[in-house]
Amino acid sequence: MVAHDLSPLESADIDMTVPDAEDPVFALHRGGKMAVSSTVELRDATDLSMAYTPGVARVCEAIAADPQLAHDYTWVSNTVAVVTDGTAVLGLGDIGPAASMPVMEGKAVLFKQFGGVDAVPIALDTTDVDEIVETVARLAPSFGGINLEDIAAPRCFEIERRLIERLDIPVFHDDQHGTAVVTLAALINAARLTDRDLDELKVVISGAGAAGVAIAKILRAAGVRKISVVDRSGVLVPERDDLTETKRWLADFCAPWASAGSCADALVGADVFIGVSGGTVPESAVAQMADDAIVFAMANPHPEVHPDVARRHARVVATGRSDFPNQINNVLVFPGIFRGALDVRATAISESMKLAAATALADLVGDEVREDYVIPSPFDPRVAQVVARAVTDTARREGLARRPY
């Protein structure tokens, strides 16, 4: 028998399209990673008459008279829909709804494990914006929140915007905002460690997709003023005539400090590199960054620059991988954000809630901050609690909580 672990899965000599009976990953996934279980026992006819007919009719009539009671007497108050169209799945791209299901199930498992939130994976067989919005809106009465997942840009922006406008429950595109919140938390501590203020940092973001846009927004909201976003053609500047609507907005919004040029050009003298696009950043470009540079190479499974290489020139290095220090992982925030939002029956997840979550996450590290510890571990039992508390406190302060106590 051949022993397997996660690392050989990245080897070129393994055909990952063929299930391997000896591979523990396939063994773990057989039959799916989740199931529905009852929270009540049906021991006799009395139990049955209360859980179902005739007793259940009394609860239905009460909810019909006051729909908000659904949050008290059904699973709605603790359940989130994890919705995808399978067009931007992890590092795999557009693999379709069926192939996305193992990831959506995994997301649901993370919700339960780290936030105590029940989640239902829903993979939609459409990429049409109108159809996705209409389908999710019609499903919404069954859930207390909507987590959009692995939907390609730029459609993800419009889908999220339209659902937020239409629904009175939290709608959250984790690929955008979860990534942004964790990135900001790590950057707060990296700046603290290197004795910098956020408004002094020269930041280069590689990638103008969902994550890049959200990171740029939250960094600006947190006080970062010098941001240059780059795509495959170089720095996004207003003078470029090849920009999409989203990229042109980014070019105007960020007021880039770097002039037109490549990513390597922008990194000369930069304090921070944030990679959310894949591709490769040469070591020579990292070497041209400022002293005490900060490198967040977050592409998975292959960071834009290998951490061992980045450490030769940067003081703080983070990735999206679990086998290196400083893992910038969305699981640090989305369970806690939804936990907090559900606890107060929030009508939305605001920008202030995201900022509060990032600050709370950064504060968990506090004075213990060091080069290999700018962000907590996902297994730190305090994480979801402090994020949830920051979200609930902010929701109440902003008047977004339907449960103010």
Angle 395-397-402 from CA coordinates, rounded to 5°: 50
Which one from 107, 226, 247, 354 is the annotated catalytic residue? 107
The yes-or-no answer on residue 52 being catalytic is: yes
Kindly report the length of the chain: 405
pTM of the model: 0.91
Predicted confidence (pLDDT) at residue 108 exceeds the cutoff of 80? yes
Name the pLDDT band for 261 (thresholds 50, 70, 90). Answer: confident
Residue 253, CA distances (Å) to 77, 232, 239, 271, 318 in order: 37, 19, 14, 20, 26
**Residues 155-181: what's their mean pLDDT?**
96
> Residue 175 annotated as binding?
yes
pLDDT tens, position by position, 374-392:
999 999 999 999 999 999 9
Which one from 33, 52, 217, 373 is the annotated catalytic residue? 52
**Residues 235-256: what's their mean pLDDT?**
88
**Residues 51-59: what's their mean pLDDT?**
95
Pairwise pLDDT comparison (85 vs 7), residue with the higher score: 85
Predicted confidence (pLDDT) at residue 135 exceeds the cutoff of 50? yes
pLDDT number for residue 66: 96
Pairwise pLDDT comparison (271 vs 9), residue with the higher score: 271
Name the pLDDT band for 259 (thresholds 50, 70, 90). Answer: confident
pLDDT number for residue 4: 34
Cα gap 105→125, rounded to integer Å: 17
Cα gap 369→378, rounded to integer Å: 16
Q: Rounded to the nearest 10 degrees, what angle do helices 174-193 and 334-343 cross at?
A: 110
Cα gap 360→354, rounded to integer Å: 10
Domains of the chain: 31-36+74-169 (3.40.50.10380), 174-405 (3.40.50.720)
Which of 112-116, 133-137, 270-274, 320-324 comes out lowest in average pLDDT?
320-324
In the chain, pLDDT over 90 holds for what percent of residues?
Answer: 82
The yes-or-no answer on residue 73 being catalytic is: no
Predicted confidence (pLDDT) at residue 6 exceeds the cutoff of 50? no
pLDDT number for residue 20: 78
pLDDT number for residue 297: 96
3-state secondary structure of 345: coil
**Residues 158-181: what's their mean pLDDT?**
96
> Residue 125 annotated as binding?
no
Name the pLDDT band for 14 (thresholds 50, 70, 90). Answer: low
Residues in contact with 200: Cβ distance below 8 Å, sequence separation at least 6, in sequence order? 226, 271
**Residues 324-348: what's their mean pLDDT?**
96
Predicted confidence (pLDDT) at residue 12 exceeds the cutoff of 60? no
> Residue 147 annotated as binding?
no
* Residue found by looking up tokens 């010098």 in the block: 226
**Residues 137-155: what's their mean pLDDT?**
96
> Residue 150 annotated as binding?
yes
pLDDT number for residue 54: 95
> Residue 242 annotated as binding?
no
In the chain, pLDDT over 70 holds for what percent of residues?
Answer: 96
Query: Which bin fits 143, alpha (ψ -120 to 50), beta or left (φ > 0)?
Result: beta
